[in-house]
Amino acid sequence: MDDARHAEVTRLLKRGLNHYGLGDLESAISCWEQARALDPENQAVHDYLETAYEEQGGGRRKAGPKGVKPAAAPAKAAPAKKPAAKAPPPKPVTDEDDTPKSGPVVEFDADTDNPDTQIQLALSAYKEGRYDDAWNELRRLAKEQPDRLDVQGYLQLVRTERAQAWAKEIGDQGRVLRLKVTTAQIMKLRLQPDEGFMLSQIDGRMSIADLISLSTADRVRTLEIIAKLLREGIVE
């Protein structure tokens, strides 16, 4: 690829990330489709479009670059039995729904479908400090058992612990972040669109606190992204 085309692909990627960060999916998709037309083998373009089309509803998803398999659709969970006691549906925890989470996903081996047993497994993970495992399991239960007020309460508890863990990992939020990788290296990273948007805001002048205040994502997700960028040596 010649330098002019590479520069245009980079410009379209960044422009799309800005639109995505502002919640304008249509404009983001338009930019990324133009970038894919110029560079069909670009993995970042493929990943961004895959996520954007899924958020849009899946109705306009298109095939990725040649040789790249599209992400498999998540398997639908079997309908769970409704609890005997019914309560008015609580306001669901949606701040981080449908966002990628850090850490490996652990399957919980339970020999029963009893939601109470699944809750105990999630709480055990929480007590052991495996907050991501606990969060993933409780989110699944919240979708299957929307009337369970206790599950919503546990989600809030785990969410707070995750935020505190990431804030501790980040440290001083007054310091300024700088990129440690080149633009060419960034294009090869397997980043989610909201992670790419955050990375595009790091200019060597804005502090971590500034990034948090300007982020269009909720504070917990923003802390998670910054912690990941630091942990993986993408910024310093």
What DSSP state is assigned to residue 23? Answer: T
Please list, in sequence order, all residues whose beta carbon lies within 8 angstroms of the beta carbon of residue 233, skipping any fewer than 6 positions away: 180, 181
Domain with CATH 1.25.40.10 in the chain: 3-56
Which pLDDT does position 176 carry in this prediction?
A: 94
Sequence-separated contacts (24+) of 177-180 with Cβ below 8 Å: 177/202, 177/204, 177/206, 177/207, 177/208, 177/211, 177/226, 177/229, 177/230, 177/235, 177/236, 178/202, 178/204, 178/235, 178/236, 179/204, 179/234, 179/235, 180/233, 180/234, 180/235, 180/236
Which pLDDT does position 1 carry in this prediction?
A: 67
Which pLDDT does position 73 carry in this prediction?
A: 39
User: Rounded distance, CA 16 to CA 104, Å?
Assistant: 28
SS3 176: strand
Q: Supply the CATH classification number for the domain 3-56.
A: 1.25.40.10
Whole-structure pTM over 0.95, yes or no?
A: no
SS3 90: coil
User: Rounded distance, CA 102 to CA 10, Å?
Assistant: 26
Tokens coding 53: 């089309």
Which pLDDT does position 153 carry in this prediction?
A: 84
Residue located via tokens 């790091």: 202
Please list, in sequence order, all residues whose beta carbon lies within 8 angstroms of the beta carbon of residue 39, skipping any fewer than 6 positions away: 1, 5, 6, 9, 45
- In terms of Cα–Cα distance, which of 169, 174, 232, 167 is closest to 199? 232
Q: How far is CA 188 from the centre of its chain?
A: 18
Which pLDDT does position 77 carry in this prediction?
A: 43
Which pLDDT does position 13 carry in this prediction?
A: 85
- In terms of Cα–Cα distance, which of 53, 52, 12 is closest to 32? 12
pLDDT in tens, the chain (236 residues): 678 888 888 888 888 888 887 778 899 899 989 999 999 988 888 888 888 888 887 544 444 433 333 334 344 444 444 444 444 444 444 444 444 344 444 454 544 578 888 888 988 998 898 988 999 999 999 998 888 878 888 888 888 889 999 999 999 999 999 999 887 888 888 888 888 889 888 988 989 999 988 888 888 899 999 999 999 999 99
